[in-house]
Copies of this chain bind each other. A is one copy, B any other.
């Protein structure tokens, strides 16, 4: 088994953080996105979509998509459960993982990819107006999480889950977009300090 990984990019970090929470070590192969290694023929054979992460199993099966890779590790290594146990927990974690992704993570990537000069060769065409249109969506996504975290310690409820991992990787990726969590979102800031202090956050 080996994991194709990239530094700084938020999606590979989701998987590294998930593995750290599970206490699983997997051999890593670093793919340098800045050097466009993900566009080379050798990596395109691993993932035709030319993105990281990707997990290659010993029998040659390749899994892509961060959450699919995490779900595989959840199935073969169930403890600690990061996708929930009961039907309600599983549904709430799925719901909040998707909200963290669709309402926050994706708008952040659109701001970054459509406004950052360094992304001009990665996102063609760059559409500045679309990047700007995503800034209020990011603030709305942050507010949604802040409201949830007023009632619960973690994004999806009482327990740390993959929804916290998605939200943390999204928020930490706001740095290159120059958006900050507003000071008045005190519940989100409380949560961010707590999850950032977990050893897995260094992954």
Chain A window 103-130, contacts with chain B (Cβ cutoff 8 Å), 1 for yes, 0 for no? 1000000000000000000000101011
Residues of B within 8 A of A147 (CB): 48
This chain: copies in complex: 2
Expressed in whole angstroms, the minimum distance between the Cβ of A157 and any Cβ of chain B is 11
Chain A window 61-100, contacts with chain B (Cβ cutoff 8 Å), 1 for yes, 0 for no? 1011101110110011000000000111011101100110
Q: Does A133 contact B (CB under 8 A)?
A: yes
* Contacts A127-B127, A129-B127; A68 near B91 (Cβ below 8 A): yes
Q: Does A185 contact B (CB under 8 A)?
A: no
Q: Does A195 contact B (CB under 8 A)?
A: no
B69 touching A91, Cβ below 8 Å: yes
Q: Does A144 contact B (CB under 8 A)?
A: yes
A87 touching B72, Cβ below 8 Å: yes
- Chain A residues within 8 Å of B, Cβ to Cβ: 48-49, 61, 63-65, 67-69, 71-72, 75-76, 86-88, 90-92, 94-95, 98-99, 102-103, 125, 127, 129-130, 133, 144, 147
